[in-house]
Structure 1
Amino acid sequence: MFKFKCDPVYLLDFYCYKPSEELMVSMVDIDAAWNEKRKQEGSIFGKHEVTAEEAAKADAEAQDIIDFQYRVWQKAGLSDNATYLPKSIHPKFCGNTPRTDLNASAEECRMAVCGAVEGVLKKTGLRATDIDFLITTTSIYCPTPSISSMVVNAFKMRKDVNSYHLGGMGCANGVVAVNLVADLLKAHPGSIALFVTNETTTPAFYKGRDKHRLVTNVLFRLGAAAMIITNKPSLVRKAKYLLEQRVRVHIGATDDAYRCIWYGPDEEGLNGIYLGLNVVKEASKALTLAMTKVGSKILNWDQIAAFAWNRIQRKVLKKPGVEPFIPCFSDCIQHFLIHAGGAKVLDNIGKNLKLSERYLWPSRTVLRYFGNVSSSTTWYTLSCVESLRGVRRGDKVLQIGVGSGIKCGVNVWRALRDIEDVHDAWRMRADAGDRTRLANVSHGSLHIALRLLSLAILAVLVAVLYRFFVEKGGIVLPEDGIISRFW
């Protein structure tokens, strides 16, 4: 804790990219694309010059895959008409022949990343030449030159800007990479860092029939976020949040954790993101370790004592039937930014952390209107909280990201002022009436009067104690200077 007082890191502001309305994708578009292909060719996996029996078998397999994706979508928590895909894989524009080449990937990446950077620079009033550190991250799409170089070129940044690109780190990196940003700022006081998160969906789109890989087609959507993080004294008064805690764990030393999520070819040589059946189990292990680490730093004393007593009962006294203690983090945290990998994932995390629906709704709302936007997800969640509910000064915000590896990151931010920004990504929902303003809790002159009264009472109490203990002989100061007490 002392370290952060000496080397504070602040989130100045951030921006979540809002795609064009024409890029909204609906299940109607998807069904039309798949079924049109079946009408024309007999199967989405059809081959030329096949027998009627082979065509019927292929068509049945295609229908099974369509039904499987529909069942996944029904349980995933995504809206049927309010998430976004780039034109390269959007069924309304490409039909059932998606483009996943490097040129199509570059188009999507430039649109989302540059849109997010432009937005955050405009919000903060900074120029691209003010940036000292640039960190970009995606998982699947890693071009040469890198995405960080693309941003440098697009915004004509300084020749001495320190730029880094992080690839292959999955959904957690929007949280985990804050460690790198904070360490860079700690080593270079008075600097400004631009952190950009994105998952380019085009190259990750799967064209095959492996159901382990088809799930990602249903969940992942277009998006990007850009953050200005700084320790420059002149910007502190404008900052929104102070970074109080940052924890990172990595359990990739075990094969089960390392192999449960990976990108690569199926048996037919078609690339896709493989999701194993043990993803939730391994992610829970990483999350438990991370929350145990951060819990000792943020939980109140009664919960820490309850945890210690529970552990003594189970490990030392060996009492049978004693369940592991699960702390209630909502007693000390006001807002939770949970990576919305899917509805079931949110249900499990909420149960494990004892979170009511009030704390889960921002993540569910992001999943509904933007889908899984990978490493950007928790930042869309924070923009949802600010836009539709508001953050009170002094509120603590817990940011949780879990991704391939398996790795998990947890950050704790403290709000430095009341925040009710309506972000572009949520303006439509705010205008539709989903917004709830912060209650006015300022007491004005009454609050000042109560403070003065409490100080007056404290002064009287100190005077009484002084008179009783010092003037009445409660404490005697002998000539030799040794203090003796008697009652």
Structure 2
Amino acid sequence: MAQRSGIEHRWSVLDGGNGSPTTQGGFYGGSWPTTAQRMAIYADAAPILATRAVAALADKVAIDGITHLVVASCTGFIAPGIDQKLVTMLGLDPTVERLMVGYMGCYAAIVALRSARHIVRSEPDARVLVVCVELSSLHLQDDARVEPLLAMLQFGDGAAAALVSAGPGGIALGQPFAMTVPDTEALIRWDLGDHGFAMHLSGEVPGAIAQALAGTITLPIPANSVDLWAVHAGGRSILDAVARALDLAPDALDHSRAVLRAFGNMSSATLMFVLARILGGDARGQGMALAFGPGLAAEGLTFHRADT
């Protein structure tokens, strides 16, 4: 399963002492940790990883004058939230307006970017900092069944940050769209238990996505008019299903496959990594961002990267 996953490396905030959190003395090296123990690590590690993502963003663009902060995360709960912690840790103005996008799963990056777009369209002077941070490795389960093992195999930790404003440069965020696919609510599910969040990822998900793209989900523009695809790298079979359903060129999802190969599925942060790869390349034109998650639901938006 690991060899066929299309994933060469995944990252974790956990320190196993000998290279793996499953070794003796590591987080999973003894008895299985409780949800409280997992959340204690989340409370410390998630804000730190998020600030590193913002620092990486600051190396590329000025992030002064932030008026709004939108944070997405589904792998932990703390109060005061990560959004409030980041205001202090980043030295933001304490009057910054905050929005926490919680427990929406892999498509939360779209929701966060869409929310930032709405803010900027209503307040043209707004400068919105968007942060996605996920610590999926905190939620390994003591389960030897094939489907749970496959779900756990996909996920790693990651964080990403973006600045959304009315200024020039980068990519222009366009029309958002959303669709909850009927009769699929059992296919992707997080269950909160005494030993973390148990991910249920059915083997029927790729087929359901392909079927939905062929009939239920209406894209705002035709697939054959899209030059740049930013599809959430949820897994090799999911990317294959999207490519087949939309009849995409063999290289259309190269950015998504590269992110999957290097980082695995980082839930909400994953799509941001794909967009970062697009921003780092030379390709221009009409784009489409698309992600899937609990529901089964699809969230997306169009974007455009101009020549200047």
Residues in 1 aligned to 2:21 and 2:44: alpha-carbon distance in whole angstroms: 15
Per-residue CA deviation, residues 381-406 of structure 1 (Å, 9 max, x unaligned), is: 2222343x4223xx112111111122
Residue 397 (1) aligns with residue 287 (2): yes
- Of Structure 1 and Structure 2, which has the larger fraction of its residues in strand? 2
Q: Contact 1:85 / 1:222 at 8 angstroms: preserved in 2? A: yes
Q: Contact 2:54 / 2:161 at 8 angstroms: preserved in 1? A: yes
Q: CA deviation at 1:271?
A: 4.2
Equivalent residue for 2:117, pick from 182, 192, 206: 182
Look up the SS of the partner of 1:345 in the other structure: helix
Q: Contact 1:105 / 1:202 at 8 angstroms: preserved in 2? A: no
Residue 119 (1) aligns with residue 70 (2): no
Look up the SS of the partner of 1:258 in the other structure: coil
Residues in 1 aligned to 2:51 and 2:257: alpha-carbon distance in whole angstroms: 26
Q: CA deviation at 1:258?
A: 1.9
Residue 408 (1) aligns with residue 298 (2): yes
Residue 105 (1) aligns with residue 42 (2): yes
Q: CA deviation at 1:285?
A: 5.0
- In the alignment, what sits opposite 1:475? none
Residue 274 (1) aligns with residue 223 (2): no
Query: What is the CA RMSD across the aligned residues, in angstroms?
Result: 2.4
Q: Percent identity?
A: 20
Q: Contact 2:38 / 2:139 at 8 angstroms: preserved in 1? A: no
Q: CA deviation at 1:87?
A: 2.3
Equivalent residue for 2:171, pick from 194, 216, 241: 241
Look up the SS of the partner of 2:185 in the other structure: helix
Residues in 1 aligned to 2:215 and 2:71: alpha-carbon distance in whole angstroms: 27
- Of Structure 1 and Structure 2, which has the larger fraction of its residues in helix? 1
Per-residue CA deviation, residues 81-118 of structure 1 (Å, 9 max, x unaligned), is: x3322224687143344255222223331232111112
Residues in 2 aligned to 1:119 and 1:288: alpha-carbon distance in whole angstroms: 38
- In the alignment, what sits opposite 2:5? 76
1:413-424 matched pairs, under 5 angstroms = 413-417=303-307
- In the alignment, what sits opposite 1:250? 180
1:83 counterpart letter in structure 2: R
2:44 counterpart letter in structure 1: E
Equivalent residue for 2:82, pick from 118, 124, 147: 147
Per-residue CA deviation, residues 304-358 of structure 1 (Å, 9 max, x unaligned), is: xxxxxxxxxxxxxxxxxxxxxxxxx24x221111111111111111111111222
Q: Contact 2:210 / 2:245 at 8 angstroms: preserved in 1? A: no
- In the alignment, what sits opposite 1:212? 147
1:58-457 matched pairs, under 5 angstroms = 72-79=1-8, 82-88=9-15, 92-96=19-23, 97-98=26-27, 101-127=38-64, 130-231=65-166, 235-236=167-168, 239-251=169-181, 254=182, 256-264=183-191, 271-284=197-210, 286-288=212-214, 292-295=218-221, 299=222, 329-330=223-224, 332-387=225-280, 389-392=281-284, 395-417=285-307
Q: Contact 1:197 / 1:224 at 8 angstroms: preserved in 2? A: yes
Residues in 1 aligned to 2:215 and 2:88: alpha-carbon distance in whole angstroms: 40
Q: Which has the larger radius of gyration?
A: 1
Q: CA deviation at 1:146?
A: 0.9
Q: Contact 1:88 / 1:202 at 8 angstroms: preserved in 2? A: no
Q: 1:78 to 1:90 in 2, by over 3 A?
A: farther
Aligned length: 298
Q: Contact 1:113 / 1:196 at 8 angstroms: preserved in 2? A: yes
Residues in 1 aligned to 2:139 and 2:220: alpha-carbon distance in whole angstroms: 33
Residues in 2 aligned to 1:289 and 1:117: alpha-carbon distance in whole angstroms: 39
Q: CA deviation at 1:192?
A: 0.8
2:158 counterpart letter in structure 1: G
Q: 1:334 to 1:262 in 2, by over 3 A?
A: same
Structure 1: give runs of 5+ residues left out of the alignment: 1-71, 300-328, 419-487
Q: CA deviation at 1:202?
A: 3.7
Q: Contact 2:170 / 2:305 at 8 angstroms: preserved in 1? A: yes
Q: 1:270 to 1:226 in 2, by over 3 A?
A: closer
Look up the SS of the partner of 2:300 in the other structure: strand
Q: Contact 1:240 / 1:417 at 8 angstroms: preserved in 2? A: no
Q: Contact 2:288 / 2:303 at 8 angstroms: preserved in 1? A: yes
Question: Normalising by the residue count of structure 2, what TM-score does the alignment of the two structures yield?
Answer: 0.87
1:78 counterpart letter in structure 2: I
Question: Normalising by the residue count of structure 1, what TM-score does the alignment of the two structures yield?
Answer: 0.57
Q: 1:110 to 1:89 in 2, by over 3 A?
A: farther
Q: 1:381 to 1:138 in 2, by over 3 A?
A: same
2:283 counterpart letter in structure 1: V
Residues in 2 aligned to 1:263 and 1:92: alpha-carbon distance in whole angstroms: 28
Q: 1:291 to 1:365 in 2, by over 3 A?
A: same
Higher relative contact order, chain-length normalized (CA < 8 Å, sep 6+): 2
